[in-house]
């Protein structure tokens, strides 16, 4: 092995120490959320819970497990995340594939308008009016009154993710496409059998971005979904927190009222923790492939 000089040893020791401290800072909120969720009422309010739980009890988790609305909101979040990710990823792949082709008419103009949306945002009011108009179209023409589908379809595009996929598709060697065309491949076959298999890392990364965005989505879900039974999990957690702040939830429990919120948060991040390790191997490669243009 190559022998390191003193400066390299010092630099590596400093870098590893800094990264370790940063990782601990990132891990602490998660550990504290678990500790606060299972700590006793007196220990929590007295400030004894700093890192590890005190007076361990699981009544907060038992309470949310027995709450029907919690599971309804959980199902709503799974619905929005699953269909929303599929829809957004599908439209982004198709749009990115088209924009990656030099033979596309007005390609430069389309790319400009795509990037323009990253520079200048129309703001909340035009966006709200657009979503409201889409909501009216769903009701009038398609008889869709379930606002979860509005969150799925109306919010199914992100310019930054399209640009990542476009750059990934442009990195595919043209000679491979040319050979497939000679063999008689159609445009659809080029996309599904050449570009998608050769861009799995970028597609998995963008899929992760969309999935986390849909799972954590709060503002527009709270704004546009009118039926409380259609609220996703994040909106339900916020609504419960507001009820606690307004003292609308009984306080004669063995756990602190905030422990109920922490228990919901822990349950809310479990699916992401399970899925993320399987996608993480694509993450760095996908961002590099999609984010760097030669």
pTM above 0.85, yes or no: no
Q: Which of 89, 213, 71, 84 is nearest to 150 (CA)?
A: 84
Question: Taking the chain, what is the end-to-end CA distance rounded to the nearest angstrom?
Answer: 33
Q: Three-state SS for 172?
A: coil
As a whole number of angstroms, the distance between CA 89 and CA 286 comes to 14
pLDDT level of residue 253 (50, 70, 90 thresholds) = confident
Q: Are 204 and 279 in contact (CB under 8 A)?
A: yes
Mean pLDDT of 132-143: 87
Of 9, 44, 28, 23, the closest CA to residue 255 belongs to 44
pLDDT at 283 over 80: no
> Taking all residues of the chain, what is their mean pLDDT, rounded to a whole number?
85
Instruction: Of 112, 107, 113, 117, give the one whose Cα is nearest residue 170.
Output: 107
Contact 168, 202 (CB under 8 A): yes
Q: Does the pLDDT of residue 240 top 90, yes or no?
A: no
239 burial via Cβ count (<10 Å: 0-12, 13-18, 19+): middle
Tokens of 267: 């349950």
Domains of the chain with CATH codes? 68-234+268-291 (1.10.3720.10)
Task: Tell me the per-residue pLDDT of 75-112, one tens digit each, with 9 for 90 and over.
Answer: 999 999 999 999 999 999 999 999 988 888 888 898 89
């Amino acid at each position: 092995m190559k022998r390191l000089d003193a400066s390299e040893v010092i630099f590596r020791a400093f870098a590893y120490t800094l990264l370790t401290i940063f990782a601990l800072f990132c891990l602490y909120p998660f550990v504290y959320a678990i500790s606060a969720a299972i700590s006793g009422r007196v220990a929590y309010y007295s400030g004894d819970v700093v890192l590890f739980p005190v007076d361990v009890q699981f009544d907060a988790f038992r309470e949310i497990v027995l709450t029907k609305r919690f599971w309804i909101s959980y199902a709503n979040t799974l619905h929005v995340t699953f269909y929303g990710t599929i829809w957004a990823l599908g439209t982004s792949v198709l749009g990115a594939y088209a924009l990656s082709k030099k033979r596309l008419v007005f390609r430069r103009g389309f790319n400009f308008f795509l990037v323009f949306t990253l520079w200048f945002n129309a703001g909340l009011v035009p966006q709200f009016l657009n979503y409201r108009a889409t909501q009216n179209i769903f009701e009038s023409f398609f008889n869709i009154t379930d606002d979860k589908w509005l969150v799925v379809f109306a919010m199914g595009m992100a310019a930054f993710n399209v640009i990542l996929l476009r750059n990934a598709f442009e990195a595919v060697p043209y000679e491979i496409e040319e050979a497939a065309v000679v063999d008689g491949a159609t445009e659809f076959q080029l996309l599904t059998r050449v570009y998608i298999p050769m861009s799995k890392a970028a597609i998995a990364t963008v899929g992760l971005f969309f999935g986390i965005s849909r799972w954590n989505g709060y503002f527009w879900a709270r704004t546009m979904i009118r039926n409380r039974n259609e609220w996703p999990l994040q909106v339900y957690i916020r609504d419960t927190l507001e009820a606690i702040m307004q003292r609308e939830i009984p306080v004669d429990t063995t756990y602190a009222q905030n422990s109920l919120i922490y228990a919901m948060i822990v349950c809310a991040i479990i699916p992401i923790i399970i899925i993320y390790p399987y996608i993480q191997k694509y993450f760095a490669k996908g961002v590099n492939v999609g984010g760097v243009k030669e």
